Amino acid sequence: MQVNNAGVSNRGSCVDTPMRVQRQLMEVNYFGHIAITRALLNSIPDDGAIITISSIQGKVAMPYRSAYSVCSADWVNQQNVGLYNKLISGQ
């Protein structure tokens, strides 16, 4: 079993948050999960599972947390699309 539950956050408005911070949040909170999942995917047994824990901020944004909310929403949406694709392909 693999559990995806890692992330960093930042407090600040979208305008005041530098692009390097926005990119760092995406790198850790979005691409980090993808990199770890891809690296470990072949070692998860057929009856294994990937569990993704995300933040409610992916669905309901909070003031001054826009960068974090975007990362959470992207990750949750990718997991939902992946599950949907898996279900319709019959895999």
Q: 2-89, which class in CATH?
A: alpha beta
Residue positions annotated with a catalytic role: 68
Confidence at residue 35, expressed as pLDDT on a 0 to 100 scale: 84
- Most distant CA pair in the chain, distance: 46
Q: What is the pTM of this model?
A: 0.68
Question: In the predicted model, what is the mean pLDDT of the chain?
Answer: 77
Q: Quick count: other Cβ atoms within 10 Å of Cβ 33? A: 22
Confidence at residue 89, expressed as pLDDT on a 0 to 100 scale: 57
pLDDT in tens, 54-89: 777 767 777 887 777 777 776 666 665 565 455 455
Confidence at residue 21, expressed as pLDDT on a 0 to 100 scale: 92
CA-based torsion, 11, 17, 22, 28: positive or negative? negative
User: Comparing 76 with 7, which gets the higher pLDDT?
Assistant: 7
Angstrom distance (rounded) from CA 77 to CA 8: 19
